[in-house]
Amino acid sequence: MIKAQQAARSASESAGSSSPALSAIRSAIGEVPDPELPIVTIDELGILGRVRRTTGGDGVRVELHPTFVACPATDMIRASVQARLGEIAPSLAADVVLVFDPPWTSDRISAGGRAKLAAAGIAPPLAADPAGLIALDAVVPCPMCGSPRTGLENLFGPTLCRTIHWCPDCRQPFEAIKTV
Ligand SMILES: [Zn+2]
Q: What digits encode the pLDDT tens for the residues 121-164?
A: 999 988 766 665 555 567 899 999 999 999 998 888 777 788 99
Range in 11-15, 107-111, 112-116, 175-179 with the lowest mean pLDDT: 11-15
Q: Where are the domains of the chain?
A: 2-98, 111-177
For residue 46, pLDDT beyond 80: yes
Residues with beta carbon < 5 A to ion ligand 1?
A: 142, 144-145, 147, 167, 169-170
Distance 39 CA to ligand 1 centre (A): 21
Residue 16 — pLDDT band, cuts 50, 70, 90?
very low
pLDDT at site 10: 47
Residue 177 C-alpha to ligand 1 middle, in angstroms?
A: 16
Reduced 3-state DSSP string for the chain: CHHHHHHHHHHHHHHCCCCCCHHHHHHHHHCCECCCCCCCECCCCCCEEEEEECCCCCEEEEEECCCCCCCCHHHHHHHHHHHHHHHHCCCCEEEEEECCCCCCCHHHCCHHHHHHHHHCCEECCCCCCCCCCCCCCCCCCCCCCCCCCCEEEECCCCCCCEEEEEECCCCEEEEEECCC
Q: What is the pLDDT of residue 20?
A: 85
Task: Tell whether domain 2-98 is in CATH 3.30.300.130.
Answer: yes
Ligand 1 centroid – CA 1 distance (Å): 33
Cα 117 to ligand 1 centre (Å): 15
What is the pLDDT, as a whole number, of residue 27?
Answer: 96
- How sure is the predictor about 14, in pLDDT bands with cuts at 50, 70 and 90? very low
State the average pLDDT over residues 11-32.
76
Distance 140 CA to ligand 1 centre (A): 11
Q: Does the reported pTM lie above 0.85?
A: no
Q: Share the mean pLDDT of the chain.
A: 84
Distance 128 CA to ligand 1 centre (A): 23
Question: pLDDT: is 56 or 29 the higher one?
Answer: 29
pLDDT score of 139: 82
pLDDT in tens, 67-111: 876 677 889 999 999 999 999 989 889 999 999 888 888 899 999
